[in-house]
Structure formats: C-alpha cells, structure tokens
Amino acid sequence: MLVAETPLAGSVLPQGATRLVCKSACRRSRSRRQQTRGFLRQQSHLSAWAPESWRQLKAQQQPNYQDEKKLREAVETISRMPPLVFAGECRNLQARLAKCATGEAFLVQGGDCAESFSQFSANRIRDSFRVQLQMAVVAMFGGGVPVVKVGRMAGQFAKPRSADTEILDGRELPSYRGDIINGQEFTLDARVPDPMRLVQAYNQAAATLNLLRGFATGGYAGLQRVMEWNLDFMGKSDEGRAYLDVAKRVDEAIQFMVACGLDSHTAIMTETEYYVSHECLLLDYEQALTREDSTTGLWYDCSGHMLWCGERTRQLDGAHVEFMRGIANPIGVKVSDKMDPGQLVSLIAALNPQNTPGRLTVIIRMGADKVRANLPRLVEAVRNSGQVVTWVCDPMHGNTECVAGYKTRRYERIRAEVEAFFDVHEELGTVPGGIHLEMTGDNVTECLGGGSSILETDLNSRYHTHCDPRLNAEQALEMSFYVASRLAQRKEKMGLGSKPTTILR
C-alpha cells in the first residue's frame, strides 16, 4: 500500500513535499534496521556528539559576521522551519550508494558550482534536472546498470575560497563566498556577510525541492517521455542526435514490454528517484536544520540528502569532520593528490567507524595528470584496511585554468581524468562508483572543447557562472556516453553482459 514518509520529530511537512513509498510497514521497518546497522544512537562514537559539538573545534571557511544578534535571529528562524528532506529518503539514498560501492549501480552527481539568487527560475531547475535524466538514460541503457541521480541543488549556495580577500583594479575587498553569504558585486556593501541570506537560501532550497519532487513524481520523468527530454538548442548537435537515437531505442523497448503485459502506469515507468546534495560548509546553517528522527533516534541534517566536506575542510581534528561524524546522512569527503593514504584511512574510520556500506563516498579531485600516480595508493590503503567506501571521480576541480582572463576547464582534460579513474580501478580490480560534475542545462560557454567545440574566443559569449566554469548540456551528455562505454566494457570483462553497442562513443 502507499504510505507517507515518516516525518522527523516535531516537524511539519511542507505543502507538496510528502513522499510516497510503496512498501508495507513490515518491510519498511526491516529495511530501516538494515540500513542503519552499525550507525545506532547507542554506539560509543556518538556518546560525546551533539549537533553543536563542532563549536568546540576550529571551523575553517566560515563567514566573519559583523552582527552576532542578527546571525542568531537568522539561525533561530531556520531552526523553526520544516525540514527540507526526510530521514527515510536519506536512508534510501544510503542503500543506493551501497550498491554503487559494489558495482551494482552507478552514481551521477551534478549541478551548479554555486546556486544563485538572481538566476533562480523554474526553467533553470527543469533544464538541469532534464540533462541529468538524459545522462541517466544513456548510462543505464548503454552501461547496463541502474543510475543513482543526485543533484548539486537546493543547498549548494556557498563556496570555499583560497583567500579571504580579492583585488580588482588595485582595490581589495572580502572574497565572494556564494549568495548564501554575500553578493558577487565588487562593492564593500555587497561583500559584507549578511546572515539574512541564510533564510533566503533556505526558502529558495525549499522551492527548488518542491519543484524537483513534482518533476520526479508527477509524470515529467516518465520513461515514455524520453523522446521529449531533448533541449531545443541541442537538436542539431552530435550529442543531441545520439541521445535521440538512444531515446528511440528505449521507446521501442518500452513498447515491446507493454505488448508483453507491462503496466505502463506503474511507478517504475512514470516516476524516478532524485536526491539533492551540497557541500557541508556553513555549520550554523547545517546545525539549524539538524533534526532528531522520531523512528530511530538518530540525528539527520535535513538540509539535503547527502552532504560532503571539501578538500579545505576535511581536517581530522576540525569542526566539519566533528559535525559530519554524528549525522546519519550518507556523507562524502573530497580528497586531492595531497591526501596521505594513512590519513585517509584514519578519516574514513572517524566518519564511518562501523564500516556501514553506502555511508561514505570518497570523491577524488586530483587533475588529469595526477590520478594514475596518486589514486592507486589511496585505493590500496583503503582496500587493505577493509573499509567499504564508494569511489567517485570529480574531474572538474583539479583541471581549472585561466584563459583570456576567464576561469575555465578543458573538456579533454576532464574526460582524461575520468578515463584515468576508470583505468586505475580496472587495474586494481576495484569499483568505480560514480562521477561528480559541475554542470548546467543552460547553453553556456564556460568549458573549452568537447563536441560543442567551444573555443577560447567563445568564452565571453555566454559565460554566466557565479563561481566556477560548468559543463554545458552537450558536454555533460557527451561525458555520459563515455561513462556508458566504460560501464559496458567493465560489464563485459566481468562476464555479465554483451559487447558495447554502437551508441557508445
């Protein structure tokens, strides 16, 4: 029967945010026990943890708010708001990520580098969602494995910065740290951190999630619509034509299954699972949305289904690791070539002491030239320790450069890092569990190359990012075709399927 997702203690469900799950009460209870095994409230690693225990440690990358009273008011306002996501959804995602760790599924995680207040619109959300649906169809149909779809959405408002200030035309001002903190305009007033932006970010995240839930469950994501998902500006591109070829074959397969008796109105045909994630950076905001689950007694950060700490905030004795070790969400940690294997093993032990499958994702961001030399030692150290993690490749952040005054990335280097990531896991006999991309559904010109053939002279044409350069829809879809080919090759090598088909490029 259909039942509503159990809310958190003391929470009120936002209008339109109820998630229906088709499970009996008995199966739901058993699944919950299995998914939280090893992460229980009475475990010793949680005995000294509380949502506010991070305040005892040094917190990197936090804003320097000038009005503490205003900050407290903003945080108290958010703490009274309904949760943005629910504990059961987080547990479901953890179960999916556990399958990514074993090769039974593959994670496609992507979205904006930093969400914008000024560019917020239903069309932008729809287009980003649509591109991920396209990528998932390509990877599933070509690679032969389920795809877990996670967006960098409904919370990805803040960005860590390498310097507290920046200089323009001889003038020095505080760095832009994302719309949740300050404004991008190069003026002193805009660059002063404003606590009320926290509340605006919450409201925008709530609206984004409400729309995404509507898209995911209201028929828009139905497999019968695969032919309709093509973005208008991609209709004449190689990637657009290749996608339409895949979509046509999927449609033919669906017609065959319907002829065999499949009910085309079942949830598996008309709905999709979609989750949201963001970097766990602003700890005041994250603590304000951390709630106790009434069914398990565990604490969940209800700002997003999945949270990760970045390369600049993963200190073992830091506030971010302290906060994340106690929340029951599936979590991630980004690591570069600077990570020591022993340190990674210690970090994993701190964040996932009971070695719960699906709880921890290790997101590699090294740069195309460094993966083959540095990833093997990390993978081998984790494997030798017996730790279970989901390995994911972020090919964006290690390949940033400045061209003609623009921060950009070259598609060829992005693909080279993904290729090296798959190669290393193939050589070691381990599992490549997913990719993590900064991307958009907009027709932007921010990353060079790829099938869309963006040149250096094109960068000033449609360079719209507020922070880092993103793959456009064509480039993201091109990447999904490559990923599908590697998944198909892996499946063939393991003796689980046939040779890759001609749609894979």
Please count the CA atoms within 13 angstroms of the CA of 242 that sit on its side-chain side.
Answer: 25
**Alpha-carbon distance 208 to 275, whole Å?**
12
Contact 237, 182 (CB under 8 A): no
203-234: b or e for each residue (b if 16 or more CB lie within 10 Å)?
ebbbebbebbbbbbbeebbbbbebeebbbeeb
Residue 312 labeled ligand binder: yes
- What's the distance, CA 128 to chain centroid? 13
**Alpha-carbon distance 54 to 309, whole Å?**
14
Of 165, 127, 103, give the one whose Cα is nearest residue 434. Answer: 103
- Long-range Cβ contact pairs of 284-287 (< 8 A, separation 24 or more): 284/62, 284/71, 284/75, 284/198, 285/75, 285/78, 285/180, 285/198, 285/201, 285/202, 286/323, 287/51, 287/52, 287/54, 287/75, 287/323
**Alpha-carbon distance 210 to 399, whole Å?**
34
Instruction: For Cα atoms 89, 90, 91, give the angle at the middle one, nearest 5 degrees.
Output: 90
Residue 438 labeled ligand binder: yes
**Alpha-carbon distance 236 to 240, whole Å?**
6
**Alpha-carbon distance 478 to 486, whole Å?**
13
Residue 152 labeled ligand binder: yes
Contact 216, 274 (CB under 8 A): yes
Q: Which amino acid is at 356?
A: T
Residue 72 labeled ligand binder: no
Residue 26 labeled ligand binder: no
Contact 8, 83 (CB under 8 A): yes
Residue 80 labeled ligand binder: no
Contact 319, 54 (CB under 8 A): yes
476-490: b or e for each residue (b if 16 or more CB lie within 10 Å)?
bbbbbbbbbbbbbbb
Residue 265 labeled ligand binder: no
**Alpha-carbon distance 3 to 25, whole Å?**
8
Contact 43, 354 (CB under 8 A): yes
- Which residues are known binding-site members? 113, 152, 311-312, 334, 365, 397, 438, 468
Where is the binding site for Mn(2+), in residues?
Answer: 113, 397, 438, 468
Return binding residues for phosphoenolpyruvate.
Answer: 152, 311-312, 334, 365
